[in-house]
Structure 1
């Protein structure tokens, strides 16, 4: 079927927006707050997580011995708190909630979705909300034992993950977009690179310099696919919180470049990347009504970002010695209430 000019533009916009939306999932996702100033107690500045290494701290049910090993102590079994289900009537009109997922390999048996975000499109409020969930969050999995949330997809795909979200957080997402990490370089390169506004200096090992060491200074830095991937995922000299702050900087750069790009000449390349690297149940007709919102958000910057961060989780070591995060369901429900506009 041949497409007319209007249909080509529509398809190009859909593909680029999809690629820019899923750009958020190329790194872990704990940081919230794309804005430079906080608008609520749940939204914070990108600069609130400086690049400092922060190792996992064991809970009270373990001792750290002098040689650095961990000695497990008897501990109670984690019992989840029942969570009220958020009904469709509680959600604002025309709100669309999409799970954004990242994995190393779609074809691998039992692969893990190490990046999990909930994207909420809110035409009524002229805004987009993004809530990040840490991969080590210890959740109740319907029909299975409790486990890390990043293991759910490998057990039962999107349906089980959506059910897990409902059981643990009260929200049942209807859509998902999953991207293969391997496609990140090609996506950024297809946009002819991106201009990232770096807010904190980063020094870490890399393969881009003969010395094996790279330094990124604050300011606007043009990055190709390799550099953007390294910048997003580097964590040897910094914390997960810092890494995910950098991921959000990359997200904004991808979105900005995609919305300002002359897309028609790149349509074949973008469509090839879309087909190869993105798995989704979102159809063109599903997303078309939200294109005006995306254009508006590009102009206003009304992107509200949140995370299930250290304020609403507790460190935990399971009987098997696994280090996980126990969710504070009340705190998470407050985040969702604000992000999804449930308190109207």
Structure 2
């Protein structure tokens, strides 16, 4: 006959010590995890709020889709995306908008690559309702909607979103990243009230002010806008490499610095929100800068008009084929079968 347990004993007293320890370890881990999740949520919320509060939204930035303008049906975030990236010395204003930098960013549905094509600002194009002029004139005639419509007509594809960056934003992003490195192809020097800045051939470490000079300059080059477009592409690729590096993506303060430094200099259409950008970037998480192809719209070189204005003629034969690849989401095939360095 077994003796009865003492009257004061309980099942809790007989709970094994190791089980008690494990229970508190689990509870402690859950608390730490919950705290970490809350911290991450607050961080993401802060970044989203910073971006959405500081950017400028351009009302009616896109063409009126009910006006009969012929483009394909809008794509969801998981489909192909086409974004017009503009660089300007003034904030985006539909009534007084001009841009020295025009890049069409195409993200295919497969998300295994990305393409960035520069439109040279002196490109001689047919502007709907106004006839032939430099593509930059579309801004003066009809603001962003007409500029976008002009590009859409030449590429047979819909521009889903537009992002205009004040050149000052390039400077702040560069400094927030701790500088960027570019491989300069042509030596040049710039002189202003603060002295002379030299840009020798080779790898250059640029700070914000130097980066701003690098992407703006065109008069130092024989082929002007062509080399400026190449330099802008070099700079953008360097920024992406620095931003996508482990040293940046694992450093919350750097990411915060980039968002805080750039967002006040951004003007966007109403659809470009923090949620949109985060969702888009997430679909591109497996990309590296080697998967991003930079090139320029095909041209036939420069020419003087009867009025003595220097223009750049587009190569419409090659452009028609390129437009088909934009429309059919087959840019990967086009890139593989064409020498983009000839553009």
Change (3 A) 1:115 1:89: closer
8 Å Cα contact 2:87/2:99 also seen in 1: yes
Change (3 A) 1:7 1:175: farther
Q: Which residue of 2 aligns with 1:190?
A: 176
Q: Which residue of 1 aligns with 2:274?
A: 284
Q: Once the 2 structures are TM-superposed, how far is the Cα of residue 223 of structure 1 from its aligned partner?
A: 1.4
Q: Once the 2 structures are TM-superposed, how far is the Cα of residue 218 of structure 1 from its aligned partner?
A: 1.4
- In structure 2, what is the Cα distance between the partners aligned to 1:119 and 1:339? 11
Q: Deviations over 1:136-188 (max 9, x none)?
A: 11222223233211121233233222222233332221210001112221121
Choose which of 309, 315, 318 in structure 2 pairs with 1:322: 309
- In structure 2, what is the Cα distance between the partners aligned to 1:214 and 1:200? 13
Equivalent position SS for 1:135: coil
Segments of structure 2 that go 5 or more residues without pairing to the other structure are 1-37, 52-69, 334-343
Residue 100, structure 1, aligned to residue 100, structure 2:
no
- In structure 2, what is the Cα distance between the partners aligned to 1:215 and 1:273? 25
Q: Which residue of 1 aligns with 2:213?
A: 230
TM-score (norm 2): 0.66
- In structure 2, what is the Cα distance between the partners aligned to 1:10 and 1:294? 21
Q: Once the 2 structures are TM-superposed, how far is the Cα of residue 280 of structure 1 from its aligned partner?
A: 1.0
- In structure 2, what is the Cα distance between the partners aligned to 1:7 and 1:128? 31
Segments of structure 1 that go 5 or more residues without pairing to the other structure are 17-84
Q: Deviations over 1:95-117 (max 9, x none)?
A: 00000111111267634112111
Change (3 A) 1:208 1:218: farther
Residue 304, structure 1, aligned to residue 296, structure 2:
no
More contact order relative to length (CA 8 Å, sep ≥ 6): 1
Change (3 A) 1:201 1:168: closer
Choose which of 143, 153, 163 in structure 1 pairs with 2:149: 163
- Alignment length, in residue pairs? 269
Equivalent position SS for 1:320: coil
8 Å Cα contact 1:193/1:222 also seen in 2: yes
- In structure 2, what is the Cα distance between the partners aligned to 1:274 and 1:199? 24
8 Å Cα contact 2:74/2:158 also seen in 1: no
Q: Which residue of 1 aligns with 2:40?
A: 5
Equivalent position SS for 1:113: coil
Change (3 A) 1:199 1:326: closer
8 Å Cα contact 2:180/2:206 also seen in 1: yes
Residue 294, structure 1, aligned to residue 284, structure 2:
yes
- RMSD across aligned positions (CA): 3.5
- In structure 2, what is the Cα distance between the partners aligned to 1:14 and 1:294? 22
Q: Which residue of 2 aligns with 1:68?
A: none
- In structure 2, what is the Cα distance between the partners aligned to 1:333 and 1:7? 48
TM-score (norm 1): 0.66
8 Å Cα contact 1:90/1:342 also seen in 2: no
Change (3 A) 1:216 1:175: same
Q: What are the equivalent positions in structure 2 for 1:16-31 lying under 5 Å apart?
A: none
Q: Could you say which structure has the larger radius of gyration? A: 2
Q: Once the 2 structures are TM-superposed, how far is the Cα of residue 195 of structure 1 from its aligned partner?
A: 2.4
Q: Which residue of 2 aligns with 1:56?
A: none
- In structure 2, what is the Cα distance between the partners aligned to 1:168 and 1:279? 24
